[in-house]
Each structure stands twice: as structure tokens, then as C-alpha cells.
Chains A and B, each alone.
Chain A
Amino acid sequence: MGTYIIRRLLQAIPMLFLVSIVLFALVNIAPGGPMSAYSRTNRMPEEKKEAIRRSFGLDKPLPVQYIVWLVGNDWMQIDTDGDDIPDGYGTRRGILRGDFGFSYKNREPVLDQIADRLPNTVYLMFFTLLFTGIVAIPIGIISAIKQYSGFDITATTLSFMGQAIPEFWLGLLLILIFYATLNNPFTGEALLPSGGMYTLGEEFSIWDRVKHLILPVTMGMVGWIAWYSRFLRSSMLEVINQDYIRTARAKGQLERKVLYKHALRNALIPLVTMFALDFPYIFTGSLYAELLFSWPGMGRLFYTSATSRDYPILLAILIIGAGIVVLSNLMADIAYAYLDPRVRYE
């Protein structure tokens, strides 16, 4: 197992390099390049533009820029005033040492901006995933043990609907229903707020936080519930038809125990893998939910950076995201082997 993990990690390294080269190249082939964000907004003199280009290291050839982005330039002499004479060591440390550079827009370190937004995204996604589990797991179990019952057919139909409903449209509908149409009968205000994490200028209260969570969480979890409940249903059905379940019944085990102790445990294993594969959303967040409900998280940071062509931020989020995806895939495989002793990796 140890060697397997090490081998997988070693395989991941060239792959992440490939991802980083592709992303870096993509961003830099955009016409006008990263500088277009500046040259469009204001007519600055050519020398000033040159100075900015130099300060971001954009005057260097692309491969050099890539290396600086990757490993930094604090180990080499660089020319900062454009006279072709090196003036001293650079200050960049490169993404491999956790320096993702500076935002073009406000010149703040990229990592600071991510650190600002990440907790909000984790907060939202935690509750989204939590409630997905709370709703999807019972639905999946009941659908499987009562296969083709009224409940199962309803759940199946709803799950087809849940998978087909566009997340952003669902968000708009939720706002229309719970913000625009329904009112709180006591205060006459909108039943639920249409955005933000809490009411500005009000003291902290749990209820206020919860009110702000309900709609974005609902919007994010509908598709997931549809998907997870179907998945658990089929995995449960597969387990129920196995011989050891028949054995458990034959020896007179209580049906409740057969289902929840013998069957469910094994049926949940593939679900754990699924969860590990969805885990990266904890980092990237739900872009649509964050945009519609003005939630200051990673998805919205990515979106606003994309509209303003703030490429260092886009690169950082994508590359960290890819790293997390790779690690989650590995975790999924390890968890699978750990939970199911029949699975062995060499």
C-alpha cells in the first residue's frame, strides 16, 4: 500500500506539471496578454507600461516567465529599470514555494485574496454537502429496500428532475419564491434574504446566519441529492442481492439488522469514493450559488477575476484546484482499499 501511494504521488507530479504548463501557456497566448487589462482601461504612457511589464516580469520570454512563476527569481540577478544591467536578486519565490504572485487589479498577494475567500466557501460547501448526505442517504436506502414502490418511483422521477434542472435557474426560482413572493407573516418582510452571508450592520445571530444559508445551500444540494440518492440506491440493490445477505436472513437475523448492519455498510463504500471525488468543491465552491447570492467565496473571486482578466488569481485557483482534485482521487482509491479488504493495490 505504501509503495502504491508513493507511486501514485510520483505519477501525479508530471501530470500537474503538464497542467501548469498548459494553463500558463493558455493565459499567455490571450491577445494582448495579461497586460490588456491595463492598456484597455487607461491610456498610460509607453514608459509607464514598460515599467509595469517589468515589475510583473512580463518583458521576459515565455519559458523564463514560466520558470519564474514556478520556482521564483530570488536566486537570479534581474534587471528592474530596463537598462539591461542586472540590479539585484528578484523577490518572487514561485508557486512551488507558495508564492502565487500578485493580483493585477489591486496588487495584493494572490494567496491573501484566496485566504480571504476560502473560509466563506468552505462554510457554504460544508453545509451543502452535510445536508446532501442527510437527505440523499435515507432516500437511497428506502428506494432500494422498497424497490418499485410508490416511494421509489417518486424518488426516481424527482431525481431525474433534479439532475435536469439547471442550477442557476433553480437559484432564480428560489429567489422568486422565497424572496419576491413569500413574506414573513409577522414582520411582513421577505421570507428569506436574497443574498449575502448575514445582514449587514446587525449583531451576530445564529438565526440570521441560517436564513442566509438556506437558499444557497438548497440551490447547491438539489443536483447532488438527485445524483447521490440514485447512486446509493443502485449500490444498495447490488449488495442486497448478494449471498451473504441471504445467509444473514437464513440464520434468522432481524431484517432491520440485515439491512442496516450487513447491507448498508458495504453499500456506503462506493459512496465514500464518490464523496472523495466531490471533495474539491469544498475549495472551488459553487460558482452559480456564490454569484446569485453575492456570497464572497472562491467561485465569485474566480468569476470577477475572469471578467477583469486578473490572470494570476485564475492561474492560482485552477492549479490549486487541480492539485486538490489529484489528491482527492488518490484519497478515494485509498479509502476504497481501506474499507473494502477485497481491493488490493500493488
Chain B
Amino acid sequence: MNSNEKKLEIKGEASAGMRPPETMTSMAWKRFRRHPGAMIGAVVLVILILATLFAGLSPYDPEKSDIKNRFQAPSWEHPFGTDGLGRDLLTRTLFGGRVSLSVGLMVVGITLSIGVPIGSIAGFYGGWVDAILMRIIDATLSIPSLMFLILLAAILRETDLPFVKGNSVMTIAVVLGVLTWPTVARLVRAVFLTVRELEYVKAAEALGASDLRIIVKEVLPNGFGPVIVESTLGVGYAIMEESGLSFLGFGIMPPTPSWGNLLNNAQEHLIQYPWLAIFPGMMIFFTIISVNYIGDGLRDALDPYKVLAEIGE
């Protein structure tokens, strides 16, 4: 009896000293919140997204020209000025932001839906399947990227495939997706290579789990952190490349505004009307720097070693 009570006491003491159970997500969130750059980045990005979502509230039409008000310098009525057709640049920049941001998200969607399955298959099955997939990945990565993008965009805009008609947002997203999936595939493959031979995976196999179950339920969750980080940075990369392509005239075509083609448009009158170039570029810059800081914060927050160090293990 006595000894039993003593045991209970010890147990009570121990549980009082232990921290309350925490999930990985809440720990990651805690770490993320402590990264000042990431928090500022997140706030800026949320403001940018909200601004583009509510772009329709602007009193001006993004595409209708107003010849009387051509090339107005920035003022209270037109905070970013107006362009060569008298359209309010702030309105156009916000509508362009919708396009640029959605291209960013679509590209990451495409990247993940190609990269994750291919990386999983290559890493899980190994052997000749892996060898072939890796050669395809190497081949894709060996072609100079910006030039390859231009070639793909130049060809796709003249084809009439379903979904990817002309210079639509979808076409550009597909073009960029073709170039970005190999990075994610490699990342996922690497996760499989490190985890595949571990005992718990062998145990699942011995228990008769199907390949699909092992891939999806046992191995893939290990790649969650790096894939999230890579996808976040991928949004920034895609926005940058979309702007570049549109800037070169191979991306989104006017009158649909995108940050890149607004800059392209600004080039012609750069010296006389510099605001046309300054504001859209600033939007790209702020978006990408926010995304990069968020990615950096996520990298710290999701790094299992840093989390372990924090718990003191």
C-alpha cells in the first residue's frame, strides 16, 4: 500500500513537471511566430492578397481607356498615375496582381501534382524506373531555363490544346510547371531514399500494407516540411518567371494586365513616365521578398532538428 502511494506521488510530480502535450503544428507555429521576417512577410502578403481580391472596388475600369487622362503623374485621384490609354495604374496593378498571384499558385499546384507522384515512384521502386525518371529529370534541368520557357511559350501560344489556349493564364502556368516539377520530384525522391529502409517501413510491409499505403501514409509525411518550404519559395519563383516572360512579351498578353506586361508596357515611355515602371516592379519585389521570408521562417519552423533542440533532446 505504502509503496503504491509513493509511486503515484512520483508519477504526479513527473507529470506536473512535464510540458503539456504539443502537436508538431503548434510547435512549428510558435517557431514561425518568432521569426520577425517571416511574420512581416506574412502580413505584407496578406495585405497584397486582400488588395488584389478587392480590386473590383476601385472606381476605375482596368481595361477601359480614358484618352483625356493619359499619362497622369501619381496624384490623389490616381495614386500610381495613369498609363498611355488613361487607365488608372493602381487598378491595373491590383488586377495584374490577381493574375500574377494566381499564376504563382497554379504553378505550385502543377509542380506538386507532377513532382510528388514522380518523386515517390522513383524513390520507392528504385532500379530502372528510378534510373529512367532521373534521366528525364536531368534532361529537363539541363536545358537553359529562361530560354526553354521562351521556346515553350512561343510554341504553346500558337497551339489549340484543351485548357492551354493561346496566352492564357493556364498556358503560362503549364509552361512554368514543366520546368519546376523536377526540383520537387528530386526532393521527394530523396525523402524516400532516406526513409525507405527504416524498420517501421519494413514493419508496415511485413504487415501486408499495399505499396500505395506505404507511399502515402508511411513515407510521404516525412517530406511534408521540405515540400512545404519548397512550394512556398516556388510561388515566388513562379511569380518572378511569369513577370519575366510577360515582360519579354511571351507571357500574359494585354489587355489582361499582369505585373510583367505592365512593365513591358512601361518600357516604351520609361524616361518620360517612370511611374509606369516603378509601381508594378515594386509589387513584384514586395511579393517575392515576403514569400522568401515566409519560406525562410517555415524552413526554421519545420526543421525537425531545431524542434528537437528546443525540446532539449
- A, B in one complex: yes
Binding site for B on A (CB under 8 A): 11, 14-16, 18-19, 22-23, 26-27, 29-32, 36, 160-161, 163-169, 172-173, 175-176, 179-180, 280, 284, 287-288, 291, 302-303, 306-307, 309, 314, 317-318, 321-322, 325-326, 329
Contact yes or no, A18 B139, CB < 8 A? yes
Q: Which residues of A contact B270 (CB under 8 A)?
A: 172, 175-176, 180
B151 an interface residue at 8 Å Cβ cutoff? yes
Q: How far, in whole Å, are A314 and B266 apart by their CA atoms in the complex?
A: 28
Q: Which residues of A contact B296 (CB under 8 A)?
A: 160
- Name the distance in Å between B176's Cβ and chain A's nearest Cβ: 15
| A19-B142, A23-B143, A302-B147 as given contacts; A168 in contact with B263, CB under 8 Å | yes
B244 an interface residue at 8 Å Cβ cutoff? yes
- Name the distance in Å between A170's Cβ and chain B's nearest Cβ: 8
B37 an interface residue at 8 Å Cβ cutoff? yes
- Name the distance in Å between A268's Cβ and chain B's nearest Cβ: 24
| A15-B139, A29-B159, A180-B271 as given contacts; A168 in contact with B147, CB under 8 Å | no
Contact yes or no, B248 A15, CB < 8 A? no
Q: What are the 6 tightest A-B residue pairs by CB atom distance, in nearest-first order? A: A169-B281, A164-B289, A164-B288, A321-B144, A325-B142, A30-B155
- Name the distance in Å between A283's Cβ and chain B's nearest Cβ: 8
Interfacial residues of chain B within 248-293, with CB under 8 A of chain A in the complex: 248-250, 263, 266-267, 270-271, 274, 277-278, 281, 284-285, 288-289, 292-293
Contact yes or no, A318 B147, CB < 8 A? yes
As a 0/1 sequence over residues 236 to 249 of chain B, the CB contacts with chain A under 8 angstroms (1 = contact) are: 10001001100111
Q: How far, in whole Å, are A292 and B23 apart by their CA atoms in the complex?
A: 51
Q: How far, in whole Å, are A248 and B240 apart by their CA atoms in the complex?
A: 45
Q: How far, in whole Å, are A160 and B141 apart by their CA atoms in the complex?
A: 25
- Chain B residues bordering chain A, tally (CB within 8 A): 44
Q: Which residues of B contact A165 (CB under 8 A)?
A: 285
- Name the distance in Å between B221's Cβ and chain A's nearest Cβ: 28
Contact yes or no, A176 B158, CB < 8 A? no
- Name the distance in Å between B83's Cβ and chain A's nearest Cβ: 15
Q: How far, in whole Å, are A121 and B313 apart by their CA atoms in the complex?
A: 53
Contact yes or no, B292 A163, CB < 8 A? yes
Which one, A160, A172, A326, contacts B293 given CB within 8 A? A160
The binding surface of chain A is classed by DSSP as helix
Contact yes or no, A29 B138, CB < 8 A? no
- Name the distance in Å between B142's Cβ and chain A's nearest Cβ: 4
| A164-B288, A168-B244, A176-B270 as given contacts; A309 in contact with B143, CB under 8 Å | no
Q: Which residues of A contact B236 (CB under 8 A)?
A: 164
B154 an interface residue at 8 Å Cβ cutoff? yes
Contact yes or no, A15 B244, CB < 8 A? no
- Name the distance in Å between B72's Cβ and chain A's nearest Cβ: 19
- Name the distance in Å between B38's Cβ and chain A's nearest Cβ: 11
B148 an interface residue at 8 Å Cβ cutoff? yes
- Name the distance in Å between B131's Cβ and chain A's nearest Cβ: 9
- Name the distance in Å between B82's Cβ and chain A's nearest Cβ: 19
Extra contacts, 4 of them, besides A168-B244, A172-B266, A291-B248 (Cβ < 8 A), are A18-B139, A31-B160, A166-B263, A284-B144
B216 an interface residue at 8 Å Cβ cutoff? no
B68 an interface residue at 8 Å Cβ cutoff? no
Contact yes or no, A176 B159, CB < 8 A? no
Q: How far, in whole Å, are A322 and B148 apart by their CA atoms in the complex?
A: 10
- Name the distance in Å between A319's Cβ and chain B's nearest Cβ: 9
Which one, B135, B141, B249, B277, contacts A18 given CB within 8 A? B135
A-B contact pairs, 19 of them (CB 8 A): A29-B159, A160-B292, A163-B292, A165-B285, A166-B240, A166-B263, A166-B285, A169-B263, A169-B284, A172-B267, A172-B270, A173-B278, A180-B274, A287-B147, A307-B154, A317-B144, A318-B147, A322-B142, A322-B144
- Name the distance in Å between A40's Cβ and chain B's nearest Cβ: 11
Question: Which residue of chain A lies nearest to B247 when distances are taken between CB atoms in the complex?
Answer: A168
Q: How far, in whole Å, are A169 and B288 apart by their CA atoms in the complex?
A: 13
